[in-house]
Amino acid sequence: MDHFLYRNGVLHAEDVPIPDIASEVGTPFYVYSTATLTRHFKLFDEALAPLEHLVCYAMKANSNQAVLRLMASLGAGVDVVSGGEYRRAKAAGFPGERIVFSGIGKTAEEMELAIQSGIRQFNLESEPEMHLLNAVATRLGKHVPVTVRVNPDVDAKTHEKIATGKAENKFGIPISRAREVYAEIAGLPGLDAIGIDVHIGSQLTDLEPFEQAYLKVAELTHALRADGHDIRRLDLGGGLGIPYERSNVAPPLPTEYGDVVKRTVGDLGCEIEIEPGRLIAGNAGLLVSSVIYVKSGEDRKFLILDAAMNDLIRPAMYGAYHDIIPVIEPSAGGEQTPYDVVGPVCESGDTFTKGRDLPLLYADDMVAFRSAGAYGAVMSSEYNTRPLIPEVLVHEHQFAVIRRRPTFDEIINRDTIPEWLKG
């Protein structure tokens, strides 16, 4: 459920008509709903409720400072994967003890930043990383909490580009080697192995791979405890999928996911962490765009929008489906026609969808891409010198620009011309 509904024939974000936002910021723009973000966080929080737990929002899905501030105010933790994300988390008000640092390529600078400014735990992904973190921690005279991200070799049954839990993927340490690695950590003065981490992929629409992975983690917990390690925290990653196509069967709910967690690892006495990103932010955001032209091709109609692949790359990159709905509600049973919906960028890959049946649309009509709150704005670029589009946050009847559109001068002046080319 989200908070983007038609009222009196006009699409609203909570109590704000989308055209009101468009007249203030211009299209294209992203708009997020506070009520939906809040609701999704609480669904996870409640699904794990009887267990000691922390929902660590995976900010890679949407790292706008306002979204982060909202999450921090709800009591969330946060999962970061770079020094930049760590800085964003701190700037938004997350205390160090609620920041988890994931990622396969952490540098010494990033480790030092997080150790000095506070960290809940590092999720280690390789032996070389383990040695570097130990060296950095020892130099700083610190003993830092770590988990080892294990690769359980489980098929997440999702798009190949976002599956992370198979042996062929670059993530984690093979679960078969985990006991050796924990034994080695026990001998390192800078590290304290407090738990286990696993994340098998994103946009999972089936609970079975989670179940398989978590059962392997439970088994490993017993084995490591028998080896003498004090395993007291399990980070179970993110990955629960969202309904992109409303006509399809909906993916499992957070409550059902919570049941899997309780069934597989609930009786181990461990504190549970999860790292959802997409389910919290995805359906809390729309990308709103205007039709520039309707162009007739040889055998099809192109709907040319002012949004493009640089603003929302998911369709071009993963062949992802996003619902597209007109901002002015079409009449029930009104005429529909198939469109190829495209952006102005100069490559054929800049196609959002082909042959999609939509109500008749004309120049200046506005449309909204649903489910665009996660992996939308964060993955955008300025390709074709198209400025990053504004982000807007709605709260009941109020809205605020939470990232403004840069000016062309700002974009152009980031480049510099070397002396030898001047004059």
Exactly one of 346, 412, 417, 421 is catalytic; which is it?
346
Answer whether 17's CB lies under 8 Å from 366's CB: no
Closest separation in Å from C-beta 382 to ligand LLP: 18
What are the structure tokens assigned to 397, written together?
A: 């009847």
Nearer to ligand LLP by C-beta: 238 or 258?
Answer: 238
Answer whether 272's CB lies under 8 Å from 232's CB: no
360 contacts ligand LLP (rule: CB under 6 A): no
237 contacts ligand LLP (rule: CB under 6 A): yes
83 contacts ligand LLP (rule: CB under 6 A): no
What are the structure tokens assigned to 175, written together?
A: 């679960």
Per the annotation, the verdict on 270 as an active-site residue is no
Closest separation in Å from C-beta 53 to ligand LLP: 15
Nearer to ligand LLP by C-beta: 178 or 279?
Answer: 279
Closest separation in Å from C-beta 34 to ligand LLP: 19
**Near ligand LLP by CB under 6 A, which window of 180-188, 272-280, 327-335, 390-398?**
272-280
What are the structure tokens assigned to 59, written together?
A: 């900010």
Residues belonging to the chain: 423
Judged by CB under 6 A, the chain residues 294 through 353 that form the site for ligand LLP are 314, 318
| Exposed/middle/buried for residue 50 (C-beta within 10 Å: 0-12, 13-18, 19+) | exposed
Given 276, 285, 315, 343, the residue binding ligand LLP (CB under 6 A) = 276
- 229-244: b or e for each residue (b if 16 or more CB lie within 10 Å)? bebbbbbbbbbbbbbb
**Near ligand LLP by CB under 6 A, which window of 235-243, 261-269, 342-350, 398-406?**
235-243
Backbone φ and ψ of 115, nearest 5°? -65, -45
Nearer to ligand LLP by C-beta: 134 or 203?
Answer: 203
Give helix then strand counts, H and E, for the chain: 12, 21
Binding-residue pattern over the window 184 to 203 for ligand LLP, x denoting contact by CB under 6 A:
---------------x--xx
Written as one string, the DSSP assignment of 383-414 is GGGPPPPPEEEEETTEEEEEEPPPPHHHHHTT
79 contacts ligand LLP (rule: CB under 6 A): yes
Binding-residue pattern over the window 156 to 185 for ligand LLP, x denoting contact by CB under 6 A:
------x-----------------------
Dist CA 57 CA 61 (whole Å) = 9
Dist CA 337 CA 332 (whole Å) = 14
Contacts of 302 (CB under 8 A, 6+ apart): 293, 294, 295, 296, 339, 340, 341, 342
Question: Under the rule (CB under 6 A), what is the footprint of ligand LLP?
Answer: 58, 60-61, 79, 102, 162, 199, 202-203, 237-239, 275-279, 314, 318, 375
Residues that are catalytic: 346
